[in-house]
Amino acid sequence: MPVPDLALAAASGAVLLAAFTQGLTGFGFALVGAPLLLLVLDPRTVVITNPDSSGLA
């Protein structure tokens, strides 16, 4: 299922905010990113994507 452009932009903003939080504090990517991504993407996509984008997988 393709993701609409607006949802992709919102998800990119959520990842940017989560990455900024992690860079500022040293933790918090999943803490900030997962709830924000859940607002625009389905839970299965968020759970699969979130560890990959933080570099842990």
Per-residue pLDDT tens over the stretch 13-47: 999 999 999 999 999 898 999 999 999 998 988 88
Work out the number of other CB atoms within 10 angstroms of the CB of residue 45. Answer: 15
The residue to which tokens 């759970």 are assigned: 47
Handedness of CA 23, 26, 29, 32 (dihedral sign): negative
Vertex 51 angle, CA 28 and 29, to 5°: 15
Residue 57 to residue 49: CA distance in whole angstroms: 10
Residue-level pLDDT at 48: 75
Domain definitions of the chain by residue range:
5-53
The reported pTM is 0.75
Instruction: Using pLDDT thresholds of 50, 70 and 90, give the confidence band for residue 52.
Output: low
